[in-house]
Amino acid sequence: MQGTPITTKASFPTTSTAAAARAKQTGDDIWRNRTDKINAELFALTYGSLVATLVKDYEDYAEVNTQLDKMGYNIGVRLIEEFLAKSSLPKCGTFVETADVISKIGFKMFLGITPTITNWSADTKEFSIIIDENPLSEFVELPDDALLPPPASTGGSAATGLWYSNILCGVLRGALEMVLLQVDVFFVSDVLRHDDATEIRVRLVRILDEDVPASDE
């Protein structure tokens, strides 16, 4: 995993205040008035049941991470339609705007939370999503063997332990691909693993060509 030097107090790119306020209002309005709700515990327990079953079936955390990411991708390519249908958003002009909309409308609409977008790379092709309250991981405590810290020497790809909420990475990847943004998405840290924060990194790989249909997974 490559670190991007982050200077504190750097002014991170932001969307115009008007656009940001509009996004927030849209997200809040959809959440309050146009979203069917369900008990958050049933959701958390159900997701937990899915992860536990995968852990039991695959007996390998790296493989579980992969499976969760795949399931998320599958969700993302479907969920994008609801996102677009309910938000009626015009095409995002910049990746910075996309990030803002992901947090204020996407996360809000589906999970009722508005994570922080931060740690932009200088070229504004990478940002982080910091999740304070993760509705997926209520009641969760990971077993010790799932906590393996990412070995710095291997670039974090080998034994990474379990990224419990890895489904979120797939969702973002799938949803963005449908609007022609090819991205890499991965967990950097998770409070479940005693990290200070729950952070997802999103990196824009390229903007896909409209005329060429995206390849299937």
* Residues binding another protein (CB under 8 A): 31, 35-50, 52-54, 57, 71, 74-75, 77-82, 84-86, 88, 91, 109-112, 135, 138-141, 144, 147, 149, 167, 171, 178-179, 191-192, 194-197, 213
- The residue behind tokens 């799938």 is 174
Q: How far is the CB of 197 from another protein (least distance, A)?
A: 7
Of 123, 103, 91, 94, nearest to 28 (Cα)? Answer: 103
Residue at 187: amino acid letter? F
Q: What is the dihedral of CA 163, 168, 172, 174, to 10 degrees?
A: 90
- The residue behind tokens 């740690």 is 119
Nearer to another protein among residue 62 and residue 178 (C-beta): 178
Of 12, 181, 20, 197, nearest to 101 (Cα)? Answer: 20
Residue 135: strand, helix, or coil: helix
Nearer to another protein among residue 34 and residue 122 (C-beta): 34
Q: How far is the CB of 85 from another protein (least distance, A)?
A: 4
Q: How far is the CB of 11 from another protein (least distance, A)?
A: 26
Q: How far is the CB of 42 from another protein (least distance, A)?
A: 5
Residue at 179: amino acid letter? V
- Separation CA 25–CA 125 (nearest Å): 26
Task: Find residue 182's DSSP bridge partners.
Answer: 206
Nearer to another protein among residue 81 and residue 122 (C-beta): 81
Nearer to another protein among residue 62 and residue 89 (C-beta): 89
Nearer to another protein among residue 8 and residue 139 (C-beta): 139
- Separation CA 32–CA 45 (nearest Å): 24
Q: How far is the CB of 52 from another protein (least distance, A)?
A: 6
